[in-house]
Chain A
Amino acid sequence: MAAAVPLSIYAALFFGSYPLPAEAIHQAIASMLKGQAESQELVIVRDIRLGRILLSFLTGAALAVSGGVFQGLLRNPLADPFTLGISSGAACGAALSLGLGWTLAGFSTLPLAALGGAFAAMALVLTMSRLAGDFSRESLVLGGIVVSTFLGAAIALIKALNEESVAAIVFWIMGSFQGRGFEHVGLMLPYMLVGGTVVLLLARELDILGLGAEQAAQVGVAVGRARIGLLVGAGMLTAAAVSVSGIIGFVGLVVPHLVRMLIGPDSRPLLLFSALGGGILLLWSDVLARTILSHGAELPVGVVTALFGGPFFCLIMARGRRG
Chain B
Amino acid sequence: MTAPIIEIQGLNAGYKDSPVLRDISLTVSAGEFTGILGPNGSGKTTLIRALSGVLPLTSGLVRIAGHDIRELSPKARAKHCATVAQKNPGLSGVRALSLVLMGRYPHVSFLGGYSDQDHRRAQEAMAETSSLHLQDRGSDTLSGGELQRVITAKALAQDTRLLLLDEAASNLDVARTLDLYELLRIRNASGLTILTVAHDLNLAALYCHRLVFLKNGSVAADGPTDEIFTSQTLSEIYETPLAVAAHPITGAPQAYLVPRA
Residues of A with Cβ closer than 8 Å to B? 201, 204, 207-208, 210-215, 217-223, 260, 264-266
B85 CB contacts on chain A under 8 angstroms: 214-215, 218
B94 lies within 8 A of A221 (CB): no
Within the assembled complex, what's the spacing in Å between the Cα atoms of A208 and B91? 10
Q: How would residues 90 to 131 of chain B score, 1 for a CB under 8 Å from any chain A CB and 0 otherwise?
A: 011111001000110110101101000000000000000000
Q: Is B75 an interface residue (CB 8 A)?
A: yes
A201 lies within 8 A of B79 (CB): no
B94 lies within 8 A of A219 (CB): no
B98 CB contacts on chain A under 8 angstroms: 207, 266
Within the assembled complex, what's the spacing in Å between the Cα atoms of A219 and B105? 6
Q: Is B259 an interface residue (CB 8 A)?
A: no
Q: A214-B49, A214-B54, A266-B98 are in contact. Are A219 and B106 (CB under 8 A)?
A: yes
B152 to chain A, nearest CB (A): 13
Q: A207-B102, A214-B85, A266-B98 are in contact. Are A222 and B92 (CB under 8 A)?
A: no
Q: Is B199 an interface residue (CB 8 A)?
A: no
B89 CB contacts on chain A under 8 angstroms: 210-212
B53 lies within 8 A of A217 (CB): yes
Number of residue pairs across A and B with beta carbons under 8 Å? 67
Within the assembled complex, what's the spacing in Å between the Cα atoms of A220 and B158? 10
Count how many chain B residues have C-beta atoms less than 8 Å from C-beta atoms of the other chain. 32
A207 CB contacts on chain B under 8 angstroms: 94, 98, 102
Nearest first, the 9 A-B pairs at minimum CB distance are A220-B78, A220-B106, A220-B75, A218-B83, A265-B93, A217-B54, A219-B105, A222-B74, A214-B54
Q: Return the chain B residue nearest A266 by Cβ.
A: B98
Within the assembled complex, what's the spacing in Å between the Cα atoms of A163 and B44? 65
A208 lies within 8 A of B93 (CB): no
A217's partner among B74, B93, B103 (CB-CB below 8 A) is: B74
A218 CB contacts on chain B under 8 angstroms: 52-54, 78, 82-83, 85
B136 to chain A, nearest CB (A): 11
Q: Return the chain B residue nearest A219 by Cβ.
A: B105
**Told that A218-B54, A264-B93 touch, could you supply 7 new A-B pairs with CB distance under 8 A?**
A213-B54, A214-B54, A215-B83, A218-B52, A220-B77, A220-B105, A264-B95
Report 24 cross-chain contacts, Cβ distance below 8 Å, ordered by A residue: A204-B105, A207-B94, A208-B102, A211-B89, A212-B89, A214-B54, A214-B85, A215-B83, A217-B74, A218-B78, A218-B85, A219-B78, A219-B102, A219-B105, A220-B75, A220-B76, A220-B106, A221-B74, A222-B73, A222-B75, A264-B93, A264-B95, A265-B91, A265-B94
Within the assembled complex, what's the spacing in Å between the Cα atoms of A201 and B110? 8
A211 lies within 8 A of B91 (CB): yes
B74 CB contacts on chain A under 8 angstroms: 217, 220-223
B99 to chain A, nearest CB (A): 8
